Amino acid sequence: MFAVVQTGGKQYNVTLNDVLKVEKLENAVGDKVKLDVLLVSDGDKTVAGTPTVKNAEVLAEVLAHGKGDKIVVYKYKPKKNERKKQGHRQPWTEIKIVSIKM
């Protein structure tokens, strides 16, 4: 059984016990999170939502929070002695898929 879920503006194809990093969620470590289900399939029956599937539920457990690797943003204008250097670390949340119900 697998499902396509949406969180943080992105879509993920998940199965039971998958661990993935998604955009930062405001839940504490150990909390259960209900994700929006766009499509769910059990092998022979597939249900697609408009936009979400009614009565379908995907529960995930929050494992950890963190930040990604630093990226450097460097802007400059030639011949004008104008330079700007910035760094950015994207926050993420690691979740584990606990259950998928149709």
Query: Residue 70 and residue 72: Cα distance in Å, rounded?
Result: 7
Tens digit of each residue's pLDDT (9 = 90 or more) over 46-90:
999 999 999 999 999 999 999 999 999 999 999 999 999 999 999
User: pTM here?
Assistant: 0.85
In this predicted model, what pLDDT tens digit does every residue of 15-43 receive, in sequence order?
Answer: 999 999 999 999 999 999 999 999 999 98
3-state secondary structure of 15: strand
Average pLDDT, the chain: 96
- Spell out the domain ranges in the chain: 2-101
**Residue 43: per-residue pLDDT:** 87
Q: Please provide the size of the chain in residues.
A: 102
Q: What is the mean pLDDT of residues 80-102?
A: 96
> What beta strand segments (E) does 1-102 contain?
2-7, 10-15, 19-23, 32-41, 46-48, 57-67, 71-77, 82-88, 91-101
Residue 102 has pLDDT above 90, yes or no: no
